[in-house]
Structure 1
């Protein structure tokens, strides 16, 4: 007989609905106001710290719901949200600068759901709020780095042309090249002017050639520092898995970063605030490190220390910088110790190959560099950054290296992961510092958020009542499918990594509710037409679904294409609307056509039915 559903369709519907319902479930449990403690670069959070944290909370009169240790972090859940700020201040004072302490909203999801990676939906800044960072780029360091690159290029190219010079050094906002002979100076000036049209060269009486950047070049260096830092910050945000972030330039040297619905604010602050890169240099074996310790550091060498305080004398010449790193991932070596595997771009691979070819058997040091802001400001009012350099590894070059190699000597697996994340996201062109951090409240206000939810509820209730009255028993089927559709949308948004619900996204849900009903109306009206033309109830159901399918498909495909275009060219709220619209179209097609057909066949299919309540 007609209208009998095969078993596989029942299994498919049950499986899809169960999965969506399961992953929509965490949204019912809400969130706890919490304070999160994360380890710094040279520190580790352990479970042994929990008793001292409990003592601090007790002495401050703050009641905790739970104190959890997981993923090398401690999460202090609070019963009273008004005590969150006080708790953070107390823990911040206790932990000091070596740890990251931040306020957080922690999902109150049961452990059995967390074991299935089920999490509640992330809400955008306009619904839940998020974290706002104002970051400042150190332009002095950007210019100094540009001068360093030019100085290195000058030395290499003058040696290549066999033009002898006494010294090449930076003097303020210019490069000074000193010669012994005026004829050689003239030759060098002619050569360099042809190679560097964006620099101005002037002679001085003391056989010194002075080179400065043109104003156009200086402006380009500054703009590139901000623009490339923005690109790298976006890469870091992507590594954190944040959806719909806002990263944009503000003024000449500042960057605004807004992370909507982020739950791990401490980790975000740690990754965004860090300015890390690597340098690879040869160890200076021709001079005595003890002389350097006593203050007699050779002109072409630099004295650094490893994390254990041991001195290492390095050559100033840099074999390779971290900006050539295109990929980095953490793993373990053959002895089970953590390591970072590094891949270089073609230029970096060529440099590493050339530099290691003639230095096999010599020790090479890996220098980790980060810039940290001090509390001081320069004469121009800008933050003063302190450059910290640390030797993290010294290894003998066993063979000529290429585009892929590894660094070892890392203390822990977590440090290897963090280092690989920073290097994979990119080395910042200039150091940046978070100069302002604040939690952003819902920008549209609590009242508007409630009105948005009410719009969904009232719209859904109105449609349910209309379908029940107008289509009677078939209206009940449509209502079940409609409620299922909303659950599926919530479940899929919760499942999709990085998906964020915004207020425009809620508008998309309201729209798809109407579209889902529209598909059912087309089917039910077609069934009525078939009945009026004299077909039996079973034939009317069969032909009603089959004949309405092409119309429903055409209408939904055109709307889906419009959603794709909005997603491709839109930003922020427009993307949020398009995502929920496209998800809603797919789920409404499934519920309106597949789910209702299964329910109708289950109730009326394969039976002798004289009339339909439609």
Structure 2
């Protein structure tokens, strides 16, 4: 029967109302944005009459999610950074020294005593006391080399070893440096992307520029400093045993130890074991939390192997302090009160909610393998100018008016129903974009324009099918019912193929291509929904009230 059951009718229009409710804040963009900004500041503990007034600009019981405007529509932050790949080279050689020392100590009778000499960060110099064992030492150290993990240097060793008298010099080979640089840049690109865009809908532009530089553009950010704060922290997290503390910044920490300043107490320095118990690389998760006094903190959880190691350490060192070190600063040095099994804990400090949230993001995204140098930083306005934005809006309006007029002239009252569904369709697209927090760019507007043109396709198929059924002398109710039934498979097939294309564009593309794919994909979903359910429910309601003997489509 043509009539739609009441529960089904309620579900259809409840979906429409919810979608349009989420889309509604975009019609009051400035007001809702001011409301959201005020709430974010109030959540940090700051409040005044002006903030309260701004927060009251939009009712709290209504959704306040907005569609983010892209860099080409709104502007944002523009940064050019250089990755200090030399840091990774130095870190590798620093970690390689214990292996060199241990392998030479296995033949102390031949090579004698071993001592590390001061040298540049890009090389490791080792002195042996017995010059006669230099050749043997050279062979032992060279044997520590590993094949380069790259296609171009697979046959080469990752280290070069030279001998000059009783001094061995170890450096990275050219093939290993090239492979290490490539890995570092790719890892940095991924970590920057995770830090800036955890959800995947913010649409930053993150591109490699040359060998060691990365271009970062983030839409909708008021200042480049916001992104610098997020990217400027390396986020190297370690958990180190504490050997002591001092107020002397020039104090000698001793062999195997290091002197690290306290972040909480100015002028206080901790003497820590250089080798950490666990590191941030072992973290499985980190998120905003609050300590027992209600102050912002960061809770964390280690993976299985690190949890076991951390649990054993706490069991053996009850009553002793250990330090949580972030980027060469002790942010907390609690005393171990009891055995901590399970590998979870909490990082406390003088954090604000925003600082604790950012730290959790940094730890989840992972530590940068090398320091970033900001070569260029600026906050930019819309790339294509207000004229292009206005042109996009005009394109949407013209396309919509043309479709509305065409449908009414072609299908009369049924065309009017299709037009109502089309308007609802556009609203639902913005509702979905608001829910997921997607970013709208000029290509995204093009996707909406394309959706407007495609949205009536399903209705056209249905209406033409109803015309065919009316020619077979069936009653109007039966003709409408058969029109929808026989057109359904064609509608589904046509839209599935386009939706698959949108998914591929979103998966394989980035930036503007991804923005186009998002709006196109959402447009296909809402178009099918409005054509199959909304238009049919409008026709059903009209038919139930008018009871026409004949209809014209």
Q: Same fold (TM over 0.5)?
A: yes
Q: Is the 8 A contact 2:306 2:343 kept in 1?
A: no
**3-state SS in 2 of match to 1:535:** coil
2:58 maps to 111
Matched, 1:12 2:11: yes
Structure 1: gaps spanning 5 or more residues: 51-65, 71-76, 78-107, 370-387
Q: CA deviation at 1:458?
A: 1.0
2:243 maps to 284
The within-5 A match list for 1:351-370 is 362-369=320-327
Matched, 1:612 2:551: yes
1:168 maps to 116
2:254 maps to 298
**3-state SS in 1 of match to 2:74:** coil
> What is the CA–CA distance in structure 1 between the aligned matches of 2:365 and 2:214, rounded to whole Å?
17
Q: Is the 8 A contact 2:291 2:348 kept in 1?
A: no
TM-score by length of 1: 0.77
> What is the CA–CA distance in structure 2 between the aligned matches of 1:359 and 1:165, rounded to whole Å?
33
Q: Is the 8 A contact 1:348 1:403 kept in 2?
A: no
Of 167, 172, 177 in structure 2, the residue corresponding to residue 213 of structure 1 is: 172
Kindly report the root-mean-square deviation, in angstroms, between the aligned alpha carbons of the 2 structures: 3.5
Q: Is the 8 A contact 1:368 1:392 kept in 2?
A: no
Q: CA deviation at 1:15?
A: 0.9
2:461 maps to 522
**3-state SS in 2 of match to 1:314:** strand
**3-state SS in 1 of match to 2:428:** helix
* Residues 420-470 of structure 1, C-alpha deviations (whole Å, 9 max, x = no match): 221111111111133322233333332222222212111111111121122
Matched, 1:475 2:423: no
The within-5 A match list for 1:544-555 is 544-555=483-494
2:159 maps to 199
> What is the CA–CA distance in structure 1 between the aligned matches of 2:73 and 2:504, rounded to whole Å?
25
**3-state SS in 1 of match to 2:141:** helix
**3-state SS in 1 of match to 2:400:** helix
1:247 maps to 206
**3-state SS in 2 of match to 1:171:** coil
Q: Is the 8 A contact 2:260 2:329 kept in 1?
A: yes
2:477 maps to 538
1:457 maps to 397
Q: CA deviation at 1:118?
A: 2.5
**3-state SS in 2 of match to 1:509:** helix
Matched, 1:68 2:67: no
1:234 maps to 193
> What is the CA–CA distance in structure 1 between the aligned matches of 2:304 and 2:404, rounded to whole Å?
62
Q: Is the 8 A contact 1:345 1:403 kept in 2?
A: no
> What is the CA–CA distance in structure 1 between the aligned matches of 2:66 and 2:358, rounded to whole Å?
26
1:496 maps to 436
* Residues 491-539 of structure 1, C-alpha deviations (whole Å, 9 max, x = no match): 2112223x12222222222222222212112222222222221112222
> What is the CA–CA distance in structure 2 between the aligned matches of 1:341 and 1:47, rounded to whole Å?
24
Q: CA deviation at 1:241?
A: 6.2
Mark the CA change 1:227 to 1:568 in structure 2 (over 3 Å): closer, same or farther: closer
> What is the CA–CA distance in structure 1 between the aligned matches of 2:76 and 2:316, rounded to whole Å?
53
Q: CA deviation at 1:327?
A: 2.5
Mark the CA change 1:216 to 1:542 in structure 2 (over 3 Å): closer, same or farther: same
* Residues 471-500 of structure 1, C-alpha deviations (whole Å, 9 max, x = no match): 222121111111111111122112223x12
**3-state SS in 2 of match to 1:111:** coil
Worse overlay, 359-368 or 21-30: 359-368
1:383 maps to none
Q: CA deviation at 1:236?
A: 0.2
Mark the CA change 1:161 to 1:537 in structure 2 (over 3 Å): closer, same or farther: farther
Q: CA deviation at 1:595?
A: 0.9
Mark the CA change 1:242 to 1:140 in structure 2 (over 3 Å): closer, same or farther: same
Structure 2: gaps spanning 5 or more residues: 146-156
Mark the CA change 1:234 to 1:305 in structure 2 (over 3 Å): closer, same or farther: same
Mark the CA change 1:520 to 1:138 in structure 2 (over 3 Å): closer, same or farther: same
2:270 maps to 312
Aligned residues: 533
Q: Is the 8 A contact 2:321 2:333 kept in 1?
A: no
Q: Is the 8 A contact 1:339 1:406 kept in 2?
A: no
1:126 maps to 72
> What is the CA–CA distance in structure 2 between the aligned matches of 1:557 and 1:222, rounded to whole Å?
43
Worse overlay, 238-247 or 516-525: 238-247
2:445 maps to 506
Q: Is the 8 A contact 2:224 2:378 kept in 1?
A: no
> What is the CA–CA distance in structure 1 between the aligned matches of 2:346 and 2:98, rounded to whole Å?
25
Matched, 1:181 2:130: yes
Q: Is the 8 A contact 2:76 2:223 kept in 1?
A: no
Matched, 1:149 2:95: yes
Q: CA deviation at 1:175?
A: 0.8
> What is the CA–CA distance in structure 2 between the aligned matches of 1:471 and 1:577, rounded to whole Å?
31
1:21 maps to 20
> What is the CA–CA distance in structure 2 between the aligned matches of 1:12 and 1:587, rounded to whole Å?
15
2:364 maps to 424
TM-score by length of 2: 0.85
**3-state SS in 2 of match to 1:249:** strand
> What is the CA–CA distance in structure 2 between the aligned matches of 1:16 and 1:584, rounded to whole Å?
15
